[in-house]
Amino acid sequence: MSVLPELSGAAKRFMDDMAAVGTPVRAEENRLMYEVMAVGGALAGQNVSTGVSLSEVQGWPLTPPHWVHLPGSVAFAVTNMDETDCPPGWKRHSRDFNLTDTSVPPALAWLRHVRGFISLAIPLAA
């Protein structure tokens, strides 16, 4: 049985902000999970499950997450990854991101960043 975490105000705001831009988020243990549509690359046109560690949204929206969680089946030519806070079979990928454009909501900027990263995915080697 999975125990849902107690969510901080920042985590709730991340969830609310993501929902406001059309991407519902669900809490799972020590992470927040959501789906994005890949707009390019090997996964173009597919819904891709992704997420962030709860610990990474504690400064939201002033400090955005750094790591992008993805299933292990999603591959990149170059990435820095590990398995911290990930469900079994998942990896998290290090991706620098700053909220420099204040003309769009932070959640929309984050989603654009994640979609852009996923568009760099390559097919897994056979």
- DSSP secondary structure of 91-107: EEEE-------TTS-HH
Calculate the CA 35 to chain-centre distance.
9
pLDDT given for residue 124 in this prediction: 72
Angle at CA of residue 13, ends 51 and 50, nearest 5°: 10
Q: What is the mean pLDDT of residues 14-39?
A: 96
pLDDT, tens digit, for every residue of 89-117?
999 999 999 888 889 999 999 999 999 99
pLDDT, tens digit, for every residue of 28-84?
989 999 999 999 999 999 999 999 999 999 999 999 999 999 999 999 999 999 999
CA gap 108, 126 in Å, rounded: 35
The tally of domains found in the chain comes to 1
Q: Is residue 18 part of a domain?
A: yes
Q: Is residue 83 part of a domain?
A: yes
Q: Is residue 79 part of a domain?
A: yes
Q: Is residue 3 part of a domain?
A: no
For the chain, the helix, strand and coil percentages under 3-state DSSP, each to the nearest 5:
25, 25, 50
Name the residue range of residue 65's domain: 9-118
Confidence of residue 123 (pLDDT cuts 50, 70, 90): confident
Q: Is residue 2 part of a domain?
A: no
pTM of the model: 0.91
